[in-house]
Each structure stands twice: as C-alpha cells, then as structure tokens.
Structure 1
Amino acid sequence: MHVNLGLRSYDILVGHGILDRIGAEYARLNLGAKAAIVTNPTVSALYLSLVQNSLEDSGIEVHVVTVPDGEKYKTLDTVGAIHGKLMKAGLDRTSCVVTLGGGVIGDMAGFVAATYMRGINFVQIPTTLEAQVDASVGGKTAVDHESGKNMVGAFYQPRFVLIDTGTLLSLDKRDVRSGLAEVIKHGLIRDQALVDFLDEKMEQVAELEIEADELDWLIARNCEIKAGVVEADETEKGLREILNYGHTVGHAIESASSFRLRHGEAIALGMMAEARIAVEKGICEEDTLTLQNALLKRTGLGVWSPDVRQSAVIELMASDKKAREGVIRFVLLEGVGRVIHSDDVSASEIAAGLAYVKEIATPF
C-alpha cells in the first residue's frame, strides 16, 4: 500500500515470509551504498542474518548496531551511542538506517536517522505486532525523558516499511496481547468492520490461530487505517489526534509503572478509563464501553500493576506532550467509528476513571 505524503510518500509492503525482499527493495530505491541495521539481541538472533544477507547480496555495505532490549534504554544516551557508531562506520548523508525490531527500536533508530547529519534515509522492518500495526507507520520518532514518554522526538518519515507477518509467530503471548490493544483501538475509532472481525474471532486472533491471509489482512487493514489518518494530518494538528485514544491516560500509566507494563497493556487501561469518562459525561453509550472492555479482556488485557499510584498517573498526565497550555487533551469515544476531542475533563472525572479501571482490572 502507498502512504501519500507528497515528497515524503512511501510504500508499506505486507506479506508472510518477505524479509528476504529487503535488499531488492532497498536497491530499487537507491537508498545508499552503506546501511546500518539497528536492532537488539533478541531480534538479531532470529532475523539479522536474513536481513543482512539480503542487503549484502544487493551490493550494500552493512554495519550492525546492537542496543540493549527494553524501553528503559530508549534514551538520548543510547541515541548518542548509536550516532557515535554510525560516525565510526563512516556513514554519511547518502547512507541509510534500517530498523529491525519492535516499537522501541523503530522509535529510537528513526530518531537517530532524523538527527544524524541533519537527516538520512531510514527503513522500518517492524517485528512485533504493536510496531507493525502502529509504531512503524506515520513517521513519529522519539525517545523518552525523565519527564515522560516520547518527550524528545521528530516527525520523520521512512523511505519504506517492510512487514513480514511471519515474524509475529516468534512473539510470546504477552507481546501479542500488547499489540492487540492498538488493533482494537483502530477498530473502535475508525472501522466497524474491523471490530466485527475481532468480535467474531478475538480468541483465535489473540493466539494467532488464524489463516496466514487473514493475518496479512489484519495487519494491512490496520496500516490502512493509520495511513489514512496520517495522510490527512501528518504532524498531528487535528485529525491525527484521534490515534491518541487511550494514550492520554495510558502513557501516564506506562511511565508510572516504570515500564513494568508493556505499552499496549497500559494503553488498554487508558482506553478503559477514557471510555468510562465518556460514559459519565453522557458522550458514549454504556453498550460501547461494554463491547470495548470485553474485546480487551478476551485478549487477556486489562491488567493493573499494584505499584502504580493514581497521584503519579495524574501528575504525569499534566506534563504529557499532548497537553496544550497546561490543559490535558483527551480523545473520547462516542461510538464505534466516532470520537471527539475534549479539553473539558476535570480532575475528579480523571480520578473516577482511574478508580473504575483499578476496580475492574486484573492484578499484574
């Protein structure tokens, strides 16, 4: 599929067993004689040799940069270390960064590409469900700061995204569940047909026990939903904010848990809280909240870490990058495929939403 952003347009390739196409596509786009693959030890053990060999067979000089696995390493210090390795390897403005991994790798290495020599080419090869359906599409790159998640970053589009759905079969169940939070979110904000598919097959989807063509369709449909929003509002001045549904509360929960909760686990809790707020404000029907929470629970989402303090969550929300002039911004669900933007959510409504989530969530 094609993401139409004028001079920053690019293609997303989706299929099963297509990792070895990376070299040919890279060469076709003439992305540079030197490439740096940025990955982590877990992913490199599974897929690095295939990706590296494909690039080298296409005549590309490949350098590998391996960084530790985990959100806690998504920092400016790690970015600086990667910059240093690119300089040592002799990468210049005609070179390319290839991200191979999940959302942490994609966000961080994308930011490296955006800032190295004022910007060089980069390619996304996402290997987790969350990264394939969300993080790899749209050009958001960032690292975390002690003040909050993704506070230092840039909008910087890849040259192409290659999604091999076969990589999902190597994920543990928790990683799959985490990614499904974004899948459910996309359906709720944009696509009744996707919600219907999930409602019919949620348990099979959660176990990845669907046909390969169905899995390809599921990933591609999510990419289409997000790409459509990004095409209309690349730098989040309006419509793109709908993709933040569940994230105002969810990002704060994720940070307050010291990242013990995975991104999708926290976003699921954020969706539960924000939908409850919408119901209490008379914006959303109770039936929609029930449908959403049932889908999340059927995947095994809705887990609360007991060390997360409500006061810490509220404090982190106030410093979230989505806040405008000190006002916390929310995306509230009206019904499937319908959301509104709101900066009229009181502290007591936020507290009530968090209390509701703690009451219905499963202890971590």
Structure 2
Amino acid sequence: MSVRTVHVGGPGEGYDVHVGPGVLDRLADHAAPGRRVLVVHQPGREQLLGQVLERLAAAGARPVPVAVPDAEAAKDVRVLADLWARLGQEGFTRDDLVVGLGGGATTDLAGFVAATWLRGVEVVHLPTSLLGVVDAAVGGKTGINTAEGKNLVGAFHPPAAVLCDPAWLSTMTRPDYASGLAEVLKCGFVADPRILELVEAAPQAALDPVAEPALAVELVTRSVQVKADVVAADLRESSLREVLNYGHTFAHAVEQVEDYTWRHGDAVAVGMVYVAELAHRRGLIDADLLARHRRVLSAVGLPTTYGAGRWPELRSAMGRDKKARGATLRFVVLEGLARPARLEGPGEDELRAAYDAVA
C-alpha cells in the first residue's frame, strides 16, 4: 500500500497531508540540525514516541518531549501555561518546531501553542486517532476550552505538514474509532456521497483499520480531501468553511452539558440527526435522507438519540455557539445530499420539535 497525499491550499504554498505506511520517515524533512522540537504527546503512545524522538535525534534536532493529559483535559489553560513555560525555559525561537503527537485534543493544543509562541512557530501534526487525522489536524484550526464552552479560545495556524500511518490507528478502541467515523460520515453527507456508500456496503470493515487498511486509507483520504477543498477556499471560516460544522452546533451543546464526558464524534452523530430533523421540518430534505442519517450512523454503532429533559441547558449552550450572530442561531443543514446550506434563526418551536425527535 503506497502513501497517499492530499494537498491543502492556503497562505504561501499550503501543506501536505500524507497518509500511509512509513510516513514517519518524512518527519526528518522538518528536523534540521540543532533545531529545537517540542513534542507534545498524550500518554499511552510510548513506542511511537520513542520512534519520533529517534528520528528527530538522527536528523540532528533537539527533541523536548512533554506529556499532556489525555483527551479534552489537555485543552486547559493550565496545561497551556505549562507548555509556554517549557518553551521559555528551553529558549525556543521562531526557527524551532512544535510536534503534536496524539488525538484531536492533543493536536488542537499543540497547534495553539505553536500559534501563540512568538506569534507563530511551525507545527507538524502526527495524529494517532481517526478523529485527529480527518478533523483536528487538518485545516489550521487550533484551540482550548474554557468553562463557558469548547474551543472559544483559539487561532488559525496551518501546520507545516500532517503525517498519519494507519497502523497508528490500530490501538484505538472500537467505540473511539466509531466516534471518528462520525466526522468521516459528515464529509459524506456534505460533499462526498461515495464515503456513505463505502461505509454502508461494509460497516464492520469500516470499523477495522487493521483488517481493512486499504479501506481505512480510502475513507481517510476522501475525508481529508473534502476538508482540503473547503479550507483552501475559506481559510478563516467566513462562510463556506461552516459546512464542515454540520451537526456541530447541537454537538458542542451536548458536550458542554455533559461536561465533555461524551466522545466528540458521538455528539456529532446526534447533532447531524438533529439538523436533519430541522431540515426535514423545513421541507429541505425528504424522509429518505433523514432516515439515511440514522441508518448509516447506527450501522457503525454511533448514537442517534440524546436523553430527554435537557432542553433548557442545551438551548442555552447553543446560544453561545461560535456560529451564532447576536441572538440568532445559525445551523448548517442540507438541501439535499451533498448540498449544504445555512439555516438562520429557526423558531423556538422548530428547535424544540427537532430536539423532541432525537430525545
């Protein structure tokens, strides 16, 4: 199986996302002799971390590994402050490098550290989760969480490169891998229906990157290509890029209400069903496309419902969503398969009715 590359356009020459076996060898391209490299890594990947440090050292770089908490706990201002302190202690300059090794939360944090240190140093992402490679590591969005919401503090800072070996995904649990598939399926709904067809034809194979590595690479590269096409046209999320937030307004509300104990992809899955219900009630999509949401998400074990009795909290959380404008809620919806659009200011009765349909 060969490495597949997706180019993401943007300022300057853009950057490449390399997916396939052996891509770690390309890390040496970013490791000049004497270059300091902060390796921000999550726990549990010691073997891969060792390989990263070996390659950096062999290229003459000076790696500085720093462990951060797992998952969303990494995206905390106290963790961020510790990393800034370490950069200062090690004397990092604008010629040095940050590497993010881990899942989406780790790459979000590493990207924000790189964006803010000396107003910007290079970052290379090595995502080790499906969610990380198809969503967090691509596109240049970085961020941390606050008590008031998820990713409310962040910056746009495209990486120098993204490298992902499908073997790195093999350690994921089945529920975590399914959670990442939610972002893959999102790309299918908004832009590339072939993704939906591939998963619908073999949902269990789509869940197993070890047994079906070729399918994993196909789904990953198709998803990355969808994101690359959108990001190249809209680096700073002014309009077009909002389509990548399909299902995310409701999803972020669920995550906040649940104190970030829900997997992101699980929340996105329910969020996609929620906006599909909104769109169906507006007559934008038919019953078949609404049902397809539930069918394909359920086929890979993703939730399509959320507990009743939480509407006041969810409605309040949605009001703080980044896509809101003043008191007006804005949702990405579909007007048909692979035809995303924006729905602004739906009525309170509509919002509640869609919630009741997923509760």
TM-score, normalised by the number of residues in structure 1: 0.93
> Are the structure 2 counterparts of residues 98 and 188 from structure 1 closer, same or farther at C-alpha, using a change threshold of 3 Å?
same
What corresponds to 2:3 in structure 1? none
Deviates more, 1:297-306 or 1:175-184: 297-306
Tell me if structure 1 keeps the 8 A contact 2:333–2:341: yes
Aligned to 1:21: 26
Contact 1:41-1:66 within 8 A present in 2 as well: yes
Segments of 5+ residues of structure 2 without an aligned counterpart are 1-5
Q: Where do 1:82-101 residues align within 5 Å?
A: 82-101=83-102
CA-based RMSD: 1.7
Contact 2:170–2:210 (8 Å) recurs in 1: no
- Distance in 2, Cα, partners of 1:31 & 1:320: 44
Q: Deviations over 1:43-62 (max 9, x none)?
A: 3x241001111111111100
Note the alpha carbon deviations across 1:76-117, whole angstroms, 9 max, x for none.
Answer: 221111100111122111111000001100111100100011
Q: Which residue of 2 aligns with 1:146?
A: 147
CA distance in 1, matches of 2:33, 2:140: 17
SS for the counterpart of 2:106 is helix
**Aligned AA (1:280):** R
Q: Which stretch shows the higher mean deviation, 264-273 or 200-209? A: 200-209
Aligned to 2:109: 108
How many angstroms apart in 1 are the aligned matches of 2:224 and 2:79? 28
Q: Match for 1:33 among 17, 35, 38?
A: 35
Q: Distance in 1 between matches of 2:204 and 2:293?
A: 15
Percent identical across equivalent pairs?
37
Give the letter for the 2:37 counterpart: A
Question: Contact between 1:265 and 1:301, CA under 8 Å: does it hold in 2?
Answer: yes
Give the equivalent residue in structure 2 for 1:362.
Answer: none
SS at 1:111's partner residue?
A: helix
Cα displacement string for residues 249-306 of structure 1 (whole angstroms, at most 9, x for unaligned residues): 1111111111111100001010011101110111111100111111100111116565
Within a 5 Å distance, the mapping from 1:207-226 to structure 2 comes to: 207-208=208-209, 211-226=212-227
Q: Which residue of 1 aligns with 2:16?
A: 11
Change (3 A) 1:42 1:304: farther
Indicate the SS of the match to 1:41.
Answer: coil
Give me the whole-angstrom Cα distance separating, in 2, the residues matched to 1:32 and 1:178.
39
Are 1:257 and 1:305, in contact at CA under 8 Å, matched by a contact in 2?
A: no
Which whole-Å CA distance do the structure 2 matches of 1:116 and 1:82 have between them? 10
User: How far apart, in 2, do the equivalents of 1:274 and 1:135 lie?
Assistant: 22
Distance of 2:34 and 2:327 partners within structure 1? 43
Number of the residue aligned with 2:230:
229
Kept after mapping to 2: 8 A contact 1:31/1:94: no
CA distance in 1, matches of 2:34, 2:187: 35
Contact 2:304 2:358 in 1 (8 A): no
> Is the CA contact (8 Å cut-off) linking 1:33 and 1:94 kept in structure 2?
yes
Instruction: Report the counterpart of residue 345 of structure 2 in structure 1.
Output: 344
Looking at structure 1, the residues matched to 137 and 284 of structure 2 have their Cα atoms a distance apart, in angstroms, of 32
Name the SS of the counterpart of 2:53 in structure 1: helix
Contact 2:200/2:299, CA 8 A, preserved across alignment: no
Give the AA of the match of 1:37. Answer: V
CA distance in 2, matches of 1:145, 1:340: 29
CA 1:93/1:155 → structure 2, altered by over 3 Å: closer, same or farther?
same
| Aligned mates of 1:17, 1:352 — CA distance in 2 | 49
Gaps of 5+ in 1: 359-364
Is 1:20–1:50's contact at 8 Å kept on the other side of the alignment?
no
Q: Deviation at 1:214?
A: 2.5
Q: How does 1:125-204 map to 2 (within 5 A)?
A: 125-204=126-205
CA contact under 8 A between 2:36 and 2:63: conserved in structure 1? yes
Q: How do 1:327-338 and structure 2 match up within 5 A?
A: 327-338=328-339
State the shift of 1:339 in Å. 1.4
Alpha carbons 2:166, 2:209 under 8 Å: kept: no
Paired residue type of 2:10: L
| 1:137-172 CA distance string (max 9 Å, x none) | 100000011111100000111011111111111100
2-structure distance, mates of 1:47, 1:344? 47
CA distance in 2, matches of 1:308, 1:20: 51
Rounded Cα–Cα distance in structure 1 between residues aligned with 2:62 and 2:208: 38
Give SS of 1:151's match.
strand
Aligned residue in 1 for 2:321: 320
Cα–Cα, structure 1 residues 307 and 276, in superposed 2: closer, same or farther, change >3 Å? closer
